[in-house]
Amino acid sequence: MDEQLFFKKLNDLCTSKEIFYFLSSLEVMSDTMASGALQRISEIEVGDNGLKNPGLLENEVFRALCFQFEFESSKLSNTGLLNALQALIKLRIDPQSTLMASLLSESEERLGKGQLTAGNLCALGESLLELEGPSCATLEQIVNRMQEKDIERWSPQEIVMVYKILQVTVREGKKWQKLLNRLNSVTLHTVSQLSPNFTSVILNSLVVLCQTGAVPLVTALCKHSVKHVPYFTDHELVNVLEAFLYFGQKVQIFTHALEAHVPKSILTMHPQTISKVMEYCCKKMILSKPIFDAVAEGFISNADRLSTDQVAAYIIPFGTLNYLPPSASSLFRKLETVLHTHLRDFKPHTLLNLLHSCVLIQRYPINFLPKIFSPYFLQKLQAQPPGLNRVVMSQLTQLFLTVTLECPFYEGPKLLSKYQVKAFPTPHSSPDVYLFKRVKTGLLYLLKKRIYFASEVSTPYFYVIDIEIKLDEEGFILPAAQLEEVHRRIALCVDGQNRFCANSHNLLGEEAIKQRHLQLLGYEVVQIPFFEIENLQNTRKMAEYLHKKIFPCTYGLSN
């Protein structure tokens, strides 16, 4: 039978019984046809849990096919040999059997003689990865042979397979970097042809292989991934998100694609995928209300099925990005139930991060703070990485300050002074240098003398104030260094873009709690956000703006 007609008929068959009947009606077939039949059987009979019908291995036609491959392996074409090997691996044929030994021996012999094409090398590499895993010594030999081939002519499938092999065989990146550079360059021109799976696999390989120099390829793949967002599997989407995070990519249309996809899929998505979506939003400071609202609903429905790490991954971004969803009351009731049930299952640092994120958005974990401030828990924190470093002690201090200022009814254990920091080292707290300089210049124009305001002032309450102005009882400005007769203290918060969510006027949680606490500590907090002052054209305009913000009840500037 003509091969083209054979494969057309073969692909129309849907059971192994039909395939065996079809094969037994043929007098002669090529090894390519026979291996194609084995591949079709493996496609039909192998499911997620292995072989659906183990009895098929005893079928006479199947055994006859295997007999031919075992005893005539040296006469097979490269395609017939390697397709048969792939199919038999999928069908879980014993790797120690004489059949598999014969096919593997013949394949390795042809590899050594340089008789395999790029496509053959990829097929063999895929089979060996499946059979022996990344420790297989022959994989390195395959990579060596690959270097001799004309990469420019490879198909996307061959490109993807080489990335997969390199990903597991490369011990020293420099050794194969020349090959990787060629591969990255060729792949750049095939990006538009890549399927969701191929896009995900290549991005994952670039992460594992630390290809930070392949910026054009990474950028092209990340942009290309946008159209595939609805079609990625959970595992593929996780790979893509990890690549965005690793390479620092931020593509707004990718976020829009996530916003369209996640809310529709929230109840069917794997919790680990949702966790990765939230990590992506949190690290990129992206407050996406459609995603956060959907995740809140998903948490309310499925929280009992989540691991403790997944619980934290779902909830922490709400605090970090300072957002309460419409379902906040149900969300935090559910979180409290989960904490009551699984409190002892949380790792110490995970629990601290989770409870700290809650207070950022004024959700107070009063029932769990006695545990957090207990010597036993603090010892556990110290014993596990990263231990009681400055960030961890800052979280503990801010929790303690929160209950002191916002929960005066709390009567549980206090945080011992040795676990408290003198100032909070928050990553976004430093003022924007350019903005800060403009505000100080405007203040100098307004107040005439530099002695009337102080910048970056440490307080006894762990916070650092960007600019402080002191007033006496009658409202007159005092020199910043004066300590007596201070009746009012004004804290200016010069909030650059780094203190807000990306492309948003929504303050981050760490800045929102700081301004809230300063007010509770008696300061008059005046916020100077970047979006109100970035278009002020000169110092006088800035001074007029500051006058209205700081002293709204007094007359304007004099000439």
Rounded to whole angstroms, how far apart are CA atoms 486 and 417?
Answer: 28
Question: Do 396 and 304 share a structural domain?
Answer: yes
Q: Does one domain contain both 544 and 466? A: yes
Please tell me the number of Cα atoms within 13 Å of 280 on its side-chain side. Answer: 29
pLDDT by residue (tens digit) across 240-287?
999 999 999 988 999 999 999 999 999 999 999 999 999 999 999 999
Domain containing residue 545: CATH number? 3.40.960.10
176 plus 213 within the same structural domain: yes
- Which structure tokens are listed for 21? 């009947």
120 assigned to some structural domain = no
Residue 559 lies in a domain: no
**What's the farthest any 2 CA atoms get from each other in the chain?**
110
Q: 477 phi and psi, to 5 degrees? A: -75, 135
Check residue 174 and give its pLDDT: 62
Final residue before a domain boundary, out of 229, 247, 265: 247
Q: Which of 204, 193, 195, 116 is nearest to 166 (CA)?
A: 204
CA atoms 272, 394, 292, 259: torsion sign: negative
- 404, 421, 438: which is the final residue of a domain? 421
Domain count, the chain: 4
Closest CA relative to residue 152, chosen from 190, 121, 120: 190
Same domain, 324 and 412: yes
Pair 392, 295 in one domain: yes
- What's the pLDDT at 462? 87
Q: Which two tokens stand for residue 364?
A: 């107070």
**Residues 255 and 231 reside in one and the same domain:** no
* CA angle, residues 202, 236, 195, in degrees to nearest 5: 60
Give the mean model confidence (pLDDT) for residues 348-369: 96
List C-alpha distances in Å: 40 to 25, 102, 201.
17, 22, 24
Q: 28 falls in which pLDDT band (50, 70, 90)?
A: confident
Is 395 in the same domain as 317? yes
Task: Give the Cα separation of 54 and 31 in Å (integer).
Answer: 24
pTM for the whole thing?
0.86
Task: Report if residue 122 sits inside a domain.
Answer: no
With respect to residue 374, please indicate whether it lies within any of the assigned structural domains.
Answer: yes
4 in a structural domain? yes
Q: What is the pLDDT of residue 84?
A: 94
Task: State the Cα–Cα distance between residues 307 and 323, nearest whole angstrom.
Answer: 23
* Residue 124 lies inside a defined structural domain of this protein: no
Q: What is the percent of the chain where pLDDT is above 90?
A: 75
Phi and psi angles of residue 478, each rounded to the nearest 5 degrees, phi first = -100, 155
Residue 99 sits in the same domain as residue 145: no
Structural domain that includes position 529: 430-550
> Which spans in 25-172 are helix H?
31-45, 60-71, 78-90, 98-112, 118-132, 138-147, 156-169
**Residue pLDDT, tens place only, 437-488:** 999 999 999 999 999 999 999 888 889 999 999 999 998 999 999 999 999 9
Considering the domain architecture, whether residues 257 and 238 belong to the same structural domain is answered as no
Q: Does residue 556 fall inside a structural domain?
A: no
Last residue of a domain, one of 395, 421, 447: 421
Do 448 and 539 share a structural domain? Answer: yes
Whether residues 269 and 401 share a domain: the answer is yes
Query: What's the pLDDT tens digit per position in 300-325?
Result: 999 999 999 999 999 999 999 999 99
Domain shared by 477 and 512, yes or no: yes
pLDDT in tens, 66-102: 998 999 899 999 999 999 999 999 998 998 999 999 9
Which one is predicted more confidently, 422 or 12? 12
Measured CA angle at 423 (ends 516, 460), to 5 deg: 70
Per-residue pLDDT of 176-234, as tens digits, reads 788 899 999 999 999 999 999 999 999 999 999 999 999 999 999 999 999 999 999 99
Q: Measure the CA–CA gap between 260 and 419, rounded to whole angstroms.
A: 45
Collapsing DSSP to helix, strand or coil, 218 comes out as helix
Does 66 map to a domain?
A: yes
pLDDT level of residue 361 (50, 70, 90 thresholds): very high
| Pair of tokens at residue 438 | 């403009």
Find the Cα–Cα–Cα–Cα dihedral 489, 492, 498, 503, rounded to 10°: 120
In DSSP terms, 494 is beta-bridged to 528
Q: Output the pLDDT for position 559.
A: 45
